[in-house]
Structure 1
Amino acid sequence: MYQHILVPLDGSSNANEALKAAIDLAKDWHASLLLLHVTDINQFGGYARGLAYTEVIASMRENATELMTRAKELATAAGVTVTTANLEGAPKQQITDVANDAENGIDLIVIGKSGTNAFSRLVVGSTTTYVVQHAHPNVFVINDIAED
């Protein structure tokens, strides 16, 4: 059915559920996964760009690497072919750019319904909504599991 599945990850529980669903789909369809994390270094806007800024960005990059390593290990342990990409910029735009780039061959995006940045969703709308509206491949939106 689908051969190349894009899974955007941001460390949220909902993204983790999307990863689990994507792994199951990839196993069933013998598809490969492209796991994508976008570090939004622009979220600080015009704030001071001194040593503290540099340390925060370095920490964000380190967290992204750890997140992607764990996600790749999970998919690989399930027997799924996986590649990863860590990008920087606006998550909405980067996800749709990767999805729409013909060289990536993405034919399905599996994405969580909501992520980690509630403020961004309030001000500029959800990343998931943007991806659904602007990505060329089909988008499978995963709900987070309900807490007791």
Structure 2
Amino acid sequence: MYTRILVPVDHSDTSAAALAEAIRLANEQHAIVRLVHVIDLAQFAWSANEFLDVPQLQSSLRESGEKLLTERVQQVQEGGISVESELLEIWGGQIARTLVDDAVKWKAHLLVMGTHGYGGLTHMLLGSVAEGVMRHTHIPVLLVKATESK
């Protein structure tokens, strides 16, 4: 039984689809949901920092992440589900490893996350956080792909 479900969230359609599935599962399993959003504070620090206000950009990342988490927490609460959230900050680390470490620390029973399902050259160039999570965890992972609307 999956009573502790961890869901990484971002602004993508695949993340929204994963959250919807996690809410459905949490209702069925009477589970608690943990929402996490990872920000990489190093992403602006090494390039053009003489032209950019790096601390301001990092602050904006935090504010955007907190706003996203607040919106997603409200969405989960509207489903009558217990929820907690955390903004995870990294400094040039691997997002997948950060998610796995948090899932282990929180003792998650299941990770539910979105995937774009890219293949070929796009996958090779962009990589996949979902694939990295799968490679580094023993916790079951449910990958959800957003449906395309036409």
Interval of TM-score (by shorter of Structure 1 and Structure 2): 0.7 to 0.9
> What is the distance in 1 between the residues matched to 2:97 and 2:44?
17
Give distance in 2, aligned partners of 1:55 and 1:122: 32
Partner of 2:147: 145
**Residue 114 of structure 2 corresponds to which residue in structure 1?**
112
Give a deviation string over 1:113-132, Cα, whole Å, max 9, x none.
139xxxx9654611000001
| Cα distance between partner residues in 2 of 1:98 and 1:58 | 22
Q: Distance in 2 between matches of 1:129 and 1:25?
A: 22
Q: 1-side partners of 2:26 and 2:125: how far apart?
A: 34
What secondary structure sits across from 1:6 in the alignment?
Answer: strand
Asked if structure 2 preserves the Cα contact closer than 8 Å seen for 1:113 and 1:143, the reply is yes
Q: Distance in 2 between matches of 1:70 and 1:87?
A: 16
Cα distance in 1 for partners of 2:95, 2:42 equals 10
Distance 1:144 1:91 in 2: 21
Aligned length: 142
- Measure the CA separation in 1 of the matches of 2:43 and 2:125: 12
Structure with higher Rg: it is: 2
Aligned to 1:8: 8
Identity of aligned residues (%): 32
Alignment-derived partner of residue 58 in structure 2:
57
Instruction: Quote the residue 1:81 is aligned against.
Output: 82
Report deviation, 1:43. Answer: 2.4
The TM-score, its normalising length taken from structure 1, stands at 0.88
Return the offset for 1:144: 0.8
Q: 1:147, CA displacement in angstroms?
A: 2.1
1:17-76 deviations in whole A, cap 9, x for unaligned? 101110110011000001000012222352244661111111111110110000000001
- Aligned residue number for residue 70 of structure 1: 71
The structure with the greater share of residues assigned to helix is: 1
AA of the residue aligned to 2:98: Q
Q: Distance in 2 between matches of 1:88 and 1:123?
A: 24
Amino acid in structure 1 at the alignment position of 2:129? T
TM-score between both structures, scaled by the size of structure 2: 0.87
